[in-house]
């Protein structure tokens, strides 16, 4: 005997009803939470940029941002200028931190001009030049912010990822990895851009040598590490011409 | 137990050992390999699965009489995916930090075969309260194994527990490392999770011969 729920017509009606219900539910949830989520993302960008220039609440071995309620105030206090570099032309834009690096990279690929945001921070008389970078890890996107001085020496770095393996690639956002970049040079001795390589079998695991353009890789996270190397190389290189103008 | 009848408490206690989803039913192995390189991730994943499986079992159980049997697997998938997405959205809006920690797990929860397995094997044939207990029990049984594997992999692979350097500092050569101890990098790779799970299965079946199948 056939049950009511085995009928084809019932199955189809059930499926349609379920899809409409679930679709409406998800659309409603996504729309109503969107403003809050976007606000969280905006604050996170400010926190990331501040983190890279050393304004954070680090305590012990884990990386801690400045709290969300203090972030907007600190951001306007420490970030003195926000620049957009477009084809070598530098303009000021106080919304530059909202530029979507992913979109700009896609523009560059499509042959259009890529806008490069650069944030200038002042802390204790030091000037920091903070640039966003973005690339690919093992599973998904990885990105970060690197704070440089006028000679393109790293003063601080923040990395994040969308879905790297916990315990392995995900450790790029741990302090032991990010802090390794501090003091490392992006240029070689003759001033050419060399980047920083996340190197396996590094002869310098304590990272005493800051001019070797290398930091020690995370065991078991080779592809994520290579992704970090690649995004530093490709994205920070674009800022080199700007840093040359600083010397004159 | 006063709160639960004997039959009900069996639903919670059985999956913890004698009917464990990982070691006996061999479900959910994929996530046990993927995220147990550190203890914290194991704990977070266990709690997430506990939540989704408990709630999902109740929803499926409430719908069990109206779900058309021909498309029941799809219905189950839709229910678990919806639950997970809503939880993810709410966390993103109200607890952004936590949602970032969990982001990796969201996709993994949907594909976790324990969840589909319990929907199919239990929630479709039982009432909401019993289904809830079954979900909680199975998720806890899954969590116990995950935490055990995460504990050994993080301790032996990185020399840390929850990020704390319990064995000393490998670079400064303090603690155990001063005696020439080295971390076993193998423990961080997925195949070692399988071997750890294998050892747990071995120990469990040696202690309880009733679990060994006859051939």
Of A18-22, A200-204, A211-215, which gets the smallest average pLDDT? A200-204
pLDDT for A24 beyond 90: yes
Q: Give the pLDDT of residue B161.
A: 86
Reported as a pLDDT band with limits 50, 70 and 90, residue B45 is: confident
Across-strand partners of A128?
A121
Of B38, B67, B171, the CB nearest to A167: B38
Residue B215, pLDDT score:
66
Decide if pLDDT at A202 tops 70.
no
Mind telling me how many Å the CA of B1 is from chain A's nearest CA?
A: 39
Judge whether residue A89 has pLDDT over 80: yes
Kindly state whether A71 is in contact with chain B, defined as any CB-CB distance less than 8 angstroms.
no
pLDDT at A155 over 90: yes
A chain contacts of residue B82, beta-carbon cutoff 8 Å = 22, 25-26
Considering only residues A42 and A59, tell me which one the structure prediction assigns the higher pLDDT: A42
- Inform me whether the C-beta atom of residue A191 falls under 8 Å from chain B C-beta atoms: no
- Contacts with B154 from chain A: Cβ below 8 Å: 167
The predicted pLDDT at position A30 comes to 93
The answer, yes or no, to whether residue A60 has pLDDT greater than 90, is no
How many other CB atoms are found less than 10 A from the CB of residue B181?
Answer: 14
Query: Quick one: angle between helices B96-111 and B113-121, nearest 10?
Result: 60
pLDDT at A129 over 80: yes
Q: What is the mean pLDDT of residues B15-21?
A: 82
Q: Give the pLDDT confidence score for residue B162 in this predicted structure.
A: 82
Give the pLDDT of residue A143: 94
Confidence of residue A190 (pLDDT cuts 50, 70, 90): confident
pLDDT single digits (tens) B147-156: 999 999 988 8
Task: Please report the DSSP string for A55-105 in residue order.
Answer: -S--BTTB--PPPTTTHHHHHHHHEEEEEEEETTEEEE-TTGGG--HHHHH
A5 Cβ under 8 Å from any chain B Cβ:
yes
pLDDT digits (tens, 9 = 90+) for B91-147: 888 878 777 777 767 777 877 888 888 898 899 999 999 999 999 999 999 999 999
Asked whether the predicted pLDDT for residue B1 surpasses 50, the reply is no
Chain B within 8 Å of A206 (Cβ-Cβ)? Answer: yes
Could you tell me the pLDDT band of residue A49, with boundaries at 50, 70 and 90?
A: very high
Rounded to a whole number of angstroms, the distance from the CA of A73 to the nearest CA of chain B is 19
Mean pLDDT estimate for chain B: 84
**pLDDT for residue B3:** 64
Between chain A and chain B, how many beta carbons pairs sit less than 8 Å apart?
A: 90
Q: Please name the residue of chain B whose CA is at the shortest distance from the CA of residue A19.
A: B78
Confidence bin at A6 (pLDDT 50/70/90): confident
Q: How far is A100 from chain B (nearest CA, A)?
A: 19
Point out the residue among A29, A162, A165 whose CB comes nearest to the CB of B37. Answer: A165
% of chain A at pLDDT higher than 70: 97
Residue B28 binned pLDDT confidence (cut-offs 50, 70, 90) = confident
- Domain ranges in chain A are 45-246
CA distance A126 to chain B (A): 30
Q: How far is CA A87 from CA A82, A108, A147, in A?
A: 16, 11, 22
- Closest residue in A to B150 (Cα) is A167
Residues A100, A112: Cα–Cα separation, whole Å: 15
Chain mean position to CA A50: 12
Winning range, highest mean pLDDT, from B31-35, B75-79, B181-185 = B75-79
Q: B205 near B211, Cβ under 8 Å?
A: yes
């Amino acid at each position: 005997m056939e049950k009511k729920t085995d009928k084809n017509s019932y199955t189809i009606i059930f499926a349609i009803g379920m899809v409409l219900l679930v679709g409406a539910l998800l659309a409603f949830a996504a729309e109503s939470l969107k403003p809050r989520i976007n606000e969280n993302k905006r604050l996170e960008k400010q926190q990331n940029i501040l983190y890279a220039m050393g304004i954070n609440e680090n305590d012990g071995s884990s990386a801690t941002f400045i709290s969300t309620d203090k972030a907007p105030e600190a951001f306007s206090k420490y970030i003195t200028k926000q620049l957009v570099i477009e084809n070598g032309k530098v303009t000021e834009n106080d919304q530059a931190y909202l530029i979507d690096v992913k979109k700009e990279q896609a523009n560059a690929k499509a042959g259009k001009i890529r806008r490069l945001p650069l944030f200038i921070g002042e802390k204790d008389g030091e000037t920091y030049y903070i640039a966003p970078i973005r690339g690919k890890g093992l599973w998904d996107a990885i990105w970060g912010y690197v704070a440089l001085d006028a000679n393109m020496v790293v003063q601080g770095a923040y990395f994040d990822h969308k879905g790297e393996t916990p315990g392995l690639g995900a450790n790029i956002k741990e302090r032991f990895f990010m802090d390794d970049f501090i003091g490392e040079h992006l240029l070689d001795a003759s001033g050419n851009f060399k980047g920083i390589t996340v190197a396996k079998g590094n002869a310098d695991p304590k990272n005493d040598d800051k001019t070797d353009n290398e930091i020690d890789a995370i065991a078991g996270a080779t592809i994520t590490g290579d992704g970090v190397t690649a995004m530093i190389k490709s994205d920070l290189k674009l800022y080199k011409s700007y840093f040359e103008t600083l010397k004159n | 137990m006063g709160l639960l009848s004997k039959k009900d408490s069996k639903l919670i206690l059985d999956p913890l050992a004698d009917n464990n989803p990982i070691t006996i039913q061999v479900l959910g192995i994929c996530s046990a390999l993927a995220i147990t390189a550190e203890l914290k991730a194991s704990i977070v994943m266990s709690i997430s699965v506990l939540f989704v499986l408990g709630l999902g079992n109740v929803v499926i159980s409430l719908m069990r009489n109206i779900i058309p049997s021909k498309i029941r697997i799809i219905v189950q998938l839709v229910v678990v995916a919806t639950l997970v997405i809503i939880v993810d959205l709410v966390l993103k809006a109200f607890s952004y930090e936590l949602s970032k920690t969990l982001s990796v797990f969201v996709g993994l929860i949907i594909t976790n075969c324990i969840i589909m397995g319990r929907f199919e094997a239990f929630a479709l044939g039982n009432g909401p309260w019993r289904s809830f207990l079954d979900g909680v029990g199975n998720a806890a049984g899954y969590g116990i194994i995950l935490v055990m594997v995460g504990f050994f992999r993080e301790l032996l692979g990185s020399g840390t527990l929850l990020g704390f350097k319990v064995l000393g500092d490998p670079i400064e050569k303090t603690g155990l490392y001063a005696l020439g101890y080295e971390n076993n990098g193998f423990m961080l790779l997925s195949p070692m999770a399988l071997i750890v799970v294998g050892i747990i299965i071995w120990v469990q079946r040696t202690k309880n011969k009733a679990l060994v199948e006859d051939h």
